[in-house]
Structures are given as C-alpha cells and as structure tokens.
C-alpha cells in the first residue's frame, strides 16, 4: 500500500511538473527554476529561456530537482558547447547541493562497510570517465551497495543531505549519462549481481540489476533459452543499465524491445522508497504498469535494483545469410518474408 502511495505521489509530482513546465506563466516559478536548472549561455548575463517545449528536455530536467538522481546526458555540454536547444548552453553546479563530508563518509561506511565505499583515485578516475572518453566528472566517492535495502538507505540519506547522486551500471552508455557532471556521488550496482530465479516452464528470469549481460546470456544458453537482448557492450554492460537506457541491440527486430520483454522491476526512488513491481506474469492487468516509466529513464526517476524478464526458448538452429538488396522496397519484402515461412 505504501508503495502505491509513493507512486501516486511520484505521478502527481510529474503532473505538476509538466503543468508548470508547459505553462509559460510558470517560467520563473520555484522550485523548478532554481539556479542549477537554468542553462547559461556563453555570456553569463544572458539566461536561456527555460521553456523550450521539447518533451525529451522537459523530462530530463527531472534530474535537476532537489534530489538529483542521475545526471543529464543532454546537459553535459559544458566542455563541448553543444547545442541544448536553439542556443549553446553550459550547466552550472547547483549551489544548494552539498559536498561529501567526513560525517557522510562515516555514515556510508557504517551501512556498506569499508569495501562498499570507494575513494581510491585510480578507480574513481575510471568511473568518472565515460566509455567514449568524451565526458569527465570529478566525483570523490563511489558507493557499491549489495541490496535494495542498502540502496534505499543511501538515497534516503543523500536526499536528506541534498547530495546529488548518479547511478552507474557497466558505464558503457554512449551519451555520458552514467558519469557525474560535477562531484555527484556515484552509486554503482556492480555488486548486485545475483541471479535470483529462473523458471524453465515460463522462461522467466529474475535477477539483480548489476548482472552483466554476457553472464545472463551464458546462463540462459545452458538452460536452453535466449536472452532477448544482445549488444556489443555485453561483456561490461549490466541488465539494470540496459533497462535504464531501454537498450535495443542485435535481437530487437526478432524479440522486440525491453518494454515488451521486461515483466517487472524493483526500483528505489530518490527518497529511499522501494517500489516492488517485480511481477513475473506475462499477462498482468492489475492497474497502472509503472515499470514502463523506468525503462529508458536513465536513472532520473529511481535506481533499478531487480529485473524480471521473459526469455524465449533457444532456436534449434541458426542460419546466417548475407542479402544484397537493390532498393528499399526489396528490403521491406525481405523483412516480411521470415514471418511467412
């Protein structure tokens, strides 16, 4: 019941947010236009109009709400001066975000132990840099929780201390979403890597968010099943990261997107509430299907801690052929052919 109350609050919050953002009269209303969520031009005195009318951007601005979960890939423009909308923009660190203190470190060590609190420079350098080496943060702290309960305690505490947080999986995302923009605390899911259950009758796999995709593919292969997702980063990317980016990959045309194959999620919201949506039913009509909000939301709404996914049986044989099409119309014919065989 509590979960649903939290969800209701989340949705109400979204509704108010969009209302304000889409209503030009609310341009400068608090709390959504605090200095951190304003985008500054190369001339600091000139402010970019906050309302641009782009859904993608409106949604991404969630990441600048007081409890910042994740960081906005579209906003990592400070080094490259890429266009955010119609004008080149640079983001500023929000002054109301705290910096990590020794008391914070003691708190984190208390819940995660010394091993779950990473401050070593070499490791931090790697997790502050994205896969393309285009974006670099300056985080001084990475936390490695092992359970949803620990994630919940971390987020609740960061929320109360106004410490910004960025979730990180395998750090293979290509848009800089997994690395800090400034000195955010990195919450890594890499220690949450257990397979919880696999049902051979239904083909449903339940696992923790930090499971590496390649390990899941190998596990399922041994069971006679196929992971409906495969991509070049499989040796490093994690299923929680895949879900959070709504990754497509090589098997998308055959098995569909993660919105179809993911059956349930467990997610921790920014205030520490654990939302248990970890259903394992292929047909589930019980109310709102909230997991879809989290698929592809890049950690802006919460940290995914568990995933339940439908996996089809392994094919008895695979034949690969290379076809040369003379025009687009013949490509379309080929797309239709397999379903007729």
Ligand X SMILES: Cc1cc2nc3c(=O)[nH]c(=O)nc-3n(C[C@H](O)[C@H](O)[C@H](O)COP(=O)(O)OP(=O)(O)OC[C@H]3O[C@@H](n4cnc5c(N)ncnc54)[C@H](O)[C@@H]3O)c2cc1C
Query: Token pair of 96, please?
Result: 């109301």
State the minimum distance, in angstroms, from the CB of residue 238 to ligand X: 4
Query: Token pair of 321, please?
Result: 């052929």
State the minimum distance, in angstroms, from the CB of residue 61 to ligand X: 15
Instruction: Please state the length of the chain.
Output: 341
State the minimum distance, in angstroms, from the CB of residue 299 to ligand X: 3
Check the CA dihedral 42-48-52-58 and report its sign. Answer: positive
E strands along 180-280, which residues? 185-188, 195-199, 204-208, 262-268, 274-277
Angstrom distance (rounded) from CA 276 to CA 266:
5
Point out which residues bind ligand X (CB under 6 A).
Answer: 70, 131, 166-174, 177-178, 189, 209, 231-233, 237-238, 240-242, 244-245, 247-249, 298-299, 303-304
Angle of helix 148-161 versus helix 102-112 axis, rounded to 10: 170
- Of 52, 56, 51, residue with least CA distance to 28: 51
State the minimum distance, in angstroms, from the CB of residue 150 to ligand X: 13
167 or 203: whose CB is closer to ligand X?
A: 167
131 or 310: whose CB is closer to ligand X?
A: 131
75 or 172: whose CB is closer to ligand X?
A: 172
21 or 306: whose CB is closer to ligand X?
A: 306
36 or 177: whose CB is closer to ligand X?
A: 177
Return the residue nearest ligand X (CB atom). Answer: 241
Return all residues near 17 (Cβ < 8 A) that are at least 6 apart: 32, 58, 62
41 or 132: whose CB is closer to ligand X?
A: 132
Is residue 183 within 8 Å of residue 264, measured between CB atoms? no
State the minimum distance, in angstroms, from the CB of residue 28 to ligand X: 28
State the minimum distance, in angstroms, from the CB of residue 58 to ligand X: 17
Angstrom distance (rounded) from CA 154 to CA 152:
5
Q: What is the DSSP string of 188-201?
A: E-TT---EEEEETT
């Amino acid at each position: 019941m509590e979960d649903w109350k939290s969800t209701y609050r989340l949705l109400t919050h979204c509704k108010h947010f969009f209302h304000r953002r889409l209503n030009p009269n609310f341009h400068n209303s608090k709390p959504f236009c605090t200095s951190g969520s304003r985008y500054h031009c190369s001339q600091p005195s000139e402010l970019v109009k906050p309302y641009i009318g782009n859904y993608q951007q409106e949604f991404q601005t969630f990441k600048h709400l007081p409890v910042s979960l994740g960081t906005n890939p579209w906003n990592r423009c400070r080094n490259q001066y890429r266009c955010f909308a119609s004008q080149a923009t640079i983001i500023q660190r929000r002054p109301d975000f705290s910096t990590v203190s020794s008391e914070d470190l003691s708190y984190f060590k208390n819940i995660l132990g010394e091993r779950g609190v990473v401050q070593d420079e070499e490791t931090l350098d790697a997790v502050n840099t994205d896969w393309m080496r285009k974006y670099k943060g300056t985080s001084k702290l990475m936390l490695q929780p092992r359970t949803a309960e620990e994630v919940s305690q971390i987020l609740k505490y960061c929320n109360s201390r106004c410490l910004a947080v960025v979730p990180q999986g395998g750090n293979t995302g290509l848009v800089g979403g997994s690395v800090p923009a400034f000195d955010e605390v990195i919450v890594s899911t890499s220690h949450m890597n257990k397979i919880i259950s696999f049902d051979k009758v239904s083909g449903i796999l339940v696992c923790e968010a930090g499971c590496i995709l390649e390990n899941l593919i190998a596990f399922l292969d041994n069971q006679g099943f196929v992971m409906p997702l495969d991509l070049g980063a499989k040796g490093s990317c994690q299923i929680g990261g895949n879900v959070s980016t709504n990754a497509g990959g090589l098997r998308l045309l055959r098995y569909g997107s993660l919105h179809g194959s993911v059956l349930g999620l467990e997610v921790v919201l920014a205030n520490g509430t654990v939302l248990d949506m970890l259903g394992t039913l292929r047909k589930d009509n019980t109310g709102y299907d909230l997991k879809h909000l989290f698929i592809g939301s890049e950690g802006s709404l919460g940290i995914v801690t568990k995933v339940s996914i439908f996996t089809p049986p392994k094919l008895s044989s695979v034949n690969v052929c290379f076809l040369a099409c003379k025009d687009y119309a013949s490509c379309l014919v080929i797309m239709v052919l397999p379903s007729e065989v």
